[in-house]
């Protein structure tokens, strides 16, 4: 059973606009969330994280928002750049244990 879900398999955005990638989870014990970025033929690389004690974390063009009551998090990329085109995975963990990943969203930023 998928505990972390990314319901949009793909997303296309114009360069310079905002990209919003969404993630939902079912386990209320999850207290730490991460986003990973994956280019073709490479392993996923860490992008940004957020702890459940926060509702927002920002790192340059990337911002992650957490809505605990809705069990929802989102990644905003502003402004989007062609180099951001990749597959984005969200992940969650509970009490420092294993990470559960979603199915990924393929982002294409159109120049």
Partner 1 sequence: DAGVIQSPRHEVTEMGQEVTLRCKPISGHDYLFWYRQTMMRGLELLIYFNNNVPIDDSGMPEDRFSAKMPNASFSTLKIQPSEPRDSAVYFCASTHRGRLRGNTIYFGEGSWLTVV
Among 8, 52, 65, 99, binds partner 1 (CB under 8 A): 99
| Residues in Cβ contact with 68 at an 8 Å cutoff, skipping those fewer than 6 apart | 52, 55
Q: Give the angle 39-43-52 at the CA atoms, nearest 5°.
A: 95
Which stretch, 10-18, 55-63, 66-74, 102-110, contacts partner 1 (CB under 8 A)? 102-110
The yes or no reply on residue 49 touching partner 1 (CB under 8 A) is yes
Determine if 96 is a binding residue for partner 1 (CB under 8 A): yes
Q: What's phi and psi for 84, nearest 5 deg? A: -80, -10
Of 13, 63, 92, 104, the residue at the interface with partner 1 (CB under 8 A) is: 104
* Residues 27-37 as b or e (16 or more Cβ within 10 Å = b): eeebebbbbbb
- Contact set with partner 1 (CB under 8 A): 2, 6, 32, 34, 36, 41-46, 49, 89, 91, 93, 95-104
């Amino acid at each position: 059973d998928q505990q972390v879900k990314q319901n949009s398999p793909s997303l296309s955005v114009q360069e310079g606009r905002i990209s919003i990638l969404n993630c939902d989870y079912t386990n209320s014990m999850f207290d730490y969330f991460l986003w990973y970025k994956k280019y073709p033929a490479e392993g996923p690389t860490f992008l940004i994280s957020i702890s459940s004690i926060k509702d927002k974390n920002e790192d340059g063009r990337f911002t992650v928002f957490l809505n605990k009551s809705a069990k929802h998090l989102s990644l905003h990329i502003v402004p989007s750049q062609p180099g951001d085109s990749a597959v984005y995975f969200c992940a969650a963990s509970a009490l420092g244990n294993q990470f559960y990943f979603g199915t990924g969203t393929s982002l294409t930023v159109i120049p």
